Structure 1
Amino acid sequence: MFIQREWKNLDKVLLIVSFLIVCISLCIIGSATHINKGAINYDFVAKQGAAFVVDLMIILFFSRFDYAKLKKYAKPLYIINLLMLVAVMFVGTSALGAQRWIQLGPITLQPSEFSKLIMIICTASILSDRVGQLNTWRQVLPIGLYVGIPFLLVLKQPDLGTSLVFLAITFGMLFVGRIKMSLLRNVFLAGVVLAPVGWHFLKDYQKSRITVFLNPNADPFGAGYHIIQSKIAIGSGMLFGKGLFQGTQSQLNFLPENHTDFIFSVIGEELGFLGCVFLLFLYFILVYRGLMIAKDCKDSFGMMLATGVVSMWAFQILVNVGMTCGIMPVTGIPLPFMSYGVSALTTNMMGLGLLLSIYMRQQTMIF
């Protein structure tokens, strides 16, 4: 009876859409990676599938957990977050010019992924008591400093993509927290003015990515290679695509990182324009349901939590799809629930669990 009542109060649309995206992901990851060094194997699918099964338990825990209790754990979580990010600097493993991962036996974890969700919880705990009271710099600056410390630690790894996600989450939550619009505009303008200063702190490969965004053919076999191959893959799929396991750019390894950052390019090539539209429609439902949960939430902490999760998803979808189509710079931001990565999938599943928890408790209050 208790399980039936829980199922009745669950946002089934949000849950089904999320699981459908993960199922599509497993198919695409299998197609993109089943040929490895001339042999056929499905190791990546097996690892992602196993992570998904474990994450089902995490969703069950988070959905049944009273999200309101997270507020009192905000300070300890913030300290744990800083310790994780600092630990990466000393014991982290490096790959592709960045030191972002910690190896725990056979499992490779990326603390900056979990850091996104922790910062959502921590920032929500602060903003929930200040909704409608963000009218001066004195009221806003402490929040900027609070987010700024983990932001800089992630940027140091270097991980520009995740750092930008931090900013997107913060801006989304400030907007819903009814920050004075003139302040938000000034923050944006200050970022534009300080951009040239930030340019000098970027790594050479990050500068190259931004440069080739404007003209990929300036370095077609170097920094521009990813964008060129991605656009070829998406364009060659045309309306219906070439079919699963039939893409040339992906199957012949012309498309780099085809199971992680550029998985949307594989969808474009193998499932075509219709496949891309269908996936984007699922993402629209995902974001829309999240926004409705935030809108209908009766307490400010739950509203801020939901806003943070939706801001994280929406920004990553926008940037990832944009960079694969060549309309945004390559930043290494994964596509939620789609890109291969245990840490990224688990973080998104935790966010989904939080949204389900908020929705279920609002339904309990109503009925």
Structure 2
Amino acid sequence: MANLIVTGGAGFIGANFVHHWRAVAPDDSIVVLDALTYAGNRANLDGLAGVELIVGDICDTALVSRTIADHRIDTIVHFAAESHVDRSITGPDAFVTTNVVGTHSLLAAAKAAWLDRGSGRPHRFHHVSTDEVYGSLGPDDPAFTETTAYAPNSPYSASKASADHLVRAYHHTYGLETTTSNCSNNYGPFQYPEKLIPLFILNALSGRCLPIYGDGNNVRDWLHVADHCRGIELVLRGGRVGETYNIGGGQELPNHAVVDEICRGIDAAFASDPPLARRFPAAPAARGRPTAELKTYVEDRKGHDRRYAIDEGKIRAELGYAPARDFAGGFAETLAWYLAHEDWWRPLAALRTRP
């Protein structure tokens, strides 16, 4: 039986991981440490028994230390991060504070509890990172591996790269038992509607434009969050201490293809479920119009990386990982979730449109 802290566990990926871990390890103790900033949501943990939410900042080392001691924590799964690239361009300070200083706060508290005071218990500090630390690929470049040189191009990715290096240093300098995973673009339930897929779903339902950066040919590897959580579980259970594992979805797609799939999916949903037209009368599909008429090309984002691609060969070979979903199937599940959970996203959409 393990005792976990899941940082950022009320956010998108963290909450999905808490649901996953509760299902696969029902006897484990889980403490969620989350500051409940705009992207954290208590409702993401609804229905989970035996999960304690502590509202607090990972930069508060004293709070982290007390939590480790009080709950006899032996495992930290670190999701907490500022993660939206656009926000990092306009306000990078928060990214350095949370992603760099916050990660160091957790590492320092873990070292003090597990090494300096010597709890005597096996431990693990797992750090969840991103493929964006590797920079941008050309159209014919090989996919990122765990040995690809870091070349972050945004304040967000630079802050995550810094955190990755701190985790590595705490292992090699102090012997802290760490692992790191670098994932590709996640999508699925509970994703805050600032990222492409939930934003475009909600915009389409309300008849707002679908703003596509540049020419729409920026390429990403798409990973359903449930597959990501299974990958993290494999690393926690069998990953080699001190190692990094890339977790991908094997679905490398240009943004315009993702948007087209969103439009097709929404059109098909309205065609097969006529009551949707009454629930979302502003949607073009409610009037028999194609959702694609909302597509609008806008000025490209500053420093927009052209292509990411993940080589997940290491985690496949060592731990038996394989994504269970292709993008079409994963997106169909995701769209169905958003259509069924209007009560979850409607308050968030209202916040986003408030002046």
TM-score bin, normalised by smaller chain: under 0.3
Q: Which has more strand, going by share of residues?
A: 2
Q: TM-score, normalised by structure 2?
A: 0.25
Higher relative contact order (CA 8 A, sep 6+): 1
Q: TM-score, normalised by structure 1?
A: 0.24
